[in-house]
Every structure is written in structure tokens, then in C-alpha cells.
Copies of this chain bind each other. A is one copy, B any other.
Amino acid sequence: MNKKMYELGSKRSVIRDLFEYGRNLAKEVGEDKVYDFSLGNPSIPAPDCVNDGIRALIENDATVIHGYTSATGDNGVRAKISAYIKKTFGFELPSALIYMTTGAAAALSITFKALVDDDHDEFITFAPFFPEYKVFVEAGGGKLKVIKPKDENFGINVDDLSTAITPRTVGVIINSPNNPSGNVYSKEEIIALSETLEKKSKEYAHPIYLISDEPYREVVYDKIEVPYVPNYYSNTIVCYSWSKSMSLAGERIGYIAVSPKATDAGDVFFAICGAGRALGYVCASSLFQRVVANGIGQTSDIDIYKANRDKLYNNLTRLGLTCLYPKGAFYLFVKCPIESKDFCEKAKKLGILFVPSESFGVDGWVRIAYCVAPDMIDRSLPAFEKLVKECKE
């Protein structure tokens, strides 16, 4: 048996432990006194286009709808995505360079497997970062290097990137809107990143791919713009998912898009097809491919997350906690006013469950997932007040 796989499968995750702690606590003190902010599982329903779309599809075309699509995805579906990208971002993405996937995790795993050619190959990402990147890169045969943030704005640390890139660097991974910080990278940051990557690609005479992991693209507030990365950097591969935007996390539906401006775009796409095949991804769900394409552009009611964000941000800052103002995603990044471990322990005892930032590669913060029922936030506020008071004692 594979020891590394055994370790990955048997090691209990922080979030899983929190979840079980919460279940047990609920039995003791009551469900309404546990405030679980640990999971990024959308709690608001999918937009109507999802269930209406499912009903219409199974009504009209029952035989074909559950059969195989081609491995890259249904052609009509890919054409709709291509047209949407053109309309929304003004970018010409040929449908022939779109590969439908079983969610963003599959998209990332397939991309790393496609790009890694030997076990010295490296990817770079910026902390705080989604910890599964390390798992996926290593399963693909490569190594992940993590760049620490420059400051507490958690922007792209281009200075350190410049020295971190080596001849072995195959790609850089960004995630904006960001899990866990809630940050959204500005156009200026994407341009600076792009310039560094272009310079380094030239210096080492090979393309450095920019993997833009975008499951939170539409989960943004105050009409903030999320720059469309292929508009700024040629060697971009977008990994997208409808998990968050349409509350379809359990259905696993997303895509990989290779920019047509990328070096060897067609060959990279072939390697992606090969990697998808090798990893056992025959096709993305035939039904859900059609559902998301028919409803493309629609989202769950993001205003609910916005109201959650405002309530939580305003109340926690009022209590004196330092919070990063979330521009997108549904996470609030809060600085621990005392030793991180003690802060989390005190919170747990009060029924407040959140994830320590150490899991995401930075020290001394916690991630509060506010994709929860609004009334849980209301109920949690007295507990937060108590927590802050206890921290001062």
C-alpha cells in the first residue's frame, strides 16, 4: 500500500476535528449554542436556473442527457462558455481550449499532472493559500514553494516571487478572490505579476504558466472588479468551478481554460486531455455540464453573503478585533489578539469554530467562513463579545 496515500487519508484534518467537536458540543449545550464557521460549504440555495434547468433537461431528453459526453465536454456547453467569456471579459477563448472538469480540485490536479515533466519541477504560490494545492502538486509529481506575504494586506508579493523563480519553475498559482483571506488582487497587482513572469520566462527561456484558480470569481461585493487574468498574461490557465457561484459544491462541475495566447496552447491542451484520462476523469457530469451552461452568468444570492460579511466585519471590528476587509469569497480573516492556539481554544469553548491560519501558511490569524445562515451570525455575536473579553483578561 502507498504510505503517502495512507497518511493523506488517515491524518485527521483540522476542519474535520472541529466539525466533530462541534457535533459533540451541540449534544451537550444545544444546537443553537454552536457557531460553526469552519466550512466553505455554501448554505444558500442554488439559483433557480439550476433546479429548473434539471427539470427541463430530464423532461426533454432523458436518454442522451445521462450518457457520456466527449472527454473534453459537450461541444454546445463549451461554445456557451466561450461566448460568455467573450461577452463578459472581452476575451476570445476558443471553445476548443475549454476542458470540462469534475470541479476545481479536478481542474487543478489535471493541470499539475499535465505540466509536471520531472520531479524537480516546481510551482509557486502565495500564502495564505488553499492547502490542497500542495497535495495536488505533489500528486502530480512536482514541488510547491510558498511565498510569505509582504504585509498584512496579503497582496501578491512580487518582490519575493522574483527571487523564488528558478529554472525549475513551471507555474505560479493564484487564487483571487482568495480563500482564506477574502482579498481580491487589483489590476495593478496582476500587471506587476505578469511583468515579472514575462521577464523570468525570457530569462530562463521557457514559459512560466500562471494558474488562476477562480472558484470565487463571482462572489464579490461592492461591484469590485476581478481582473480577467488572460487579458493580462499570455501563459494563463484558468481553473474555474461553479461550486460557490451556483452553490453546487457537491456536484463537482467546473472547467480548465487554456489561453489561446499561451506558448504551445494546443499541446498543453492535449496534455490536459491526457492527464484527465490518466487520472480516471472520463467526463464531467453530463447533466450538470448542461445545467451550468444553460444558466451561465447566474449566481446564488450573493447579497446574503454580503449582509453576513457586513454584520460580522462591523461587529468584530467594533469589538476591537483586527479584520482584513473581505472584498470577495466568503471568508473573514481575523488577527488573533492573543497567541493563536489559545485564541482558537477559548473560541471553541464558547462554541465558536473557525480555522487557524497556520493551515493556510501564515501565522496568527483565523479564517471565519461566513457562508452560513444569517441567524447563526446574530446568535454568535454575544459569544464573540465574551471571547474578546476573555482575551483581555
Contact check: which of B105, B275, B280 meets A5 at CB < 8 Å? B275
A69 in the interface (beta carbon within 8 A):
yes
**A63 sits at the interface (CB 8 A):** yes
Closest chain B CB from A150 CB (angstroms): 30
A281 at the interface (CB under 8 A from B): yes
Q: Closest B residue to A11 by CB, please name it.
A: B274
| Set of chain B residues within 8 Å of A108, measured between Cβ atoms | 280
| A213-249 near B? 1/0 per residue, CB < 8 Å | 0000000000000000000000000000000000111
- Asked if A66 CB lies within 8 Å of chain B CBs, one says yes
Q: What is the 8 Å Cβ interface bit string for chain A, positions 1-29, against chain B (1 contact, 0 not)?
A: 11111111110000000000000000000
Residues of B with C-beta under 8 A to A274: 2, 4-10
Please report which residues of chain A, range 282-307, place their CB below 8 angstroms from some CB of chain B when the two chains form the complex.
282-288
Q: How far is the CA of A6 from the CA of B4 in the complex (A)?
A: 26
CB distance from A250 to the nearest CB of B (A): 3
What's the nearest-Cβ distance from chain B to residue A385, in Å?
A: 29
Kindly state whether residue A32 has any CB partner on chain B within 8 Å: no
The 0/1 profile, CB within 8 Å of B marked 1, for residues 83-101 of chain A is 0000000000000000000
Contact B66 A249 (CB under 8 A): yes
Residue among A113, A264, A276 with max Cβ neighbours from chain B (10 Å):
A113
Cross-chain contact A277 with B135 (CB below 8 angstroms): yes
Residues 39-72 of A at the B interface (beta carbon under 8 Å): 39, 41-46, 50-51, 54-55, 58, 62-63, 65-69
Known contacts A5-B271, A62-B45, A248-B66; decide if A102 and B278 are in contact (CB<8 Å). Answer: no
Interface positions, chain A 258-277, Cβ under 8 Å from B, are 264, 267-277
Q: Are B114 and A247 in contact (CB under 8 A)?
A: no
Check A279 for interface membership: any CB of B closer than 8 A: yes
Whether the Cβ atoms of B8 and A285 lie closer than 8 Å is: no
Contacts A44-B63, A45-B63, A250-B68; is A114 near B286 (CB within 8 Å)?
no
4 tightest A-B contacts by CB? A250-B286, A9-B274, A109-B280, A8-B274
14 A-B pairs within 8 Å (CB atoms) are namely A1-B267, A5-B114, A6-B271, A9-B270, A9-B272, A9-B276, A10-B274, A45-B62, A50-B66, A109-B280, A139-B278, A250-B287, A252-B284, A285-B285
Residues of A within 8 A of B (CB): 1-10, 39, 41-46, 50-51, 54-55, 58, 62-63, 65-69, 102-103, 105-110, 113-117, 132, 135-136, 138-139, 141, 247-252, 264, 267-288
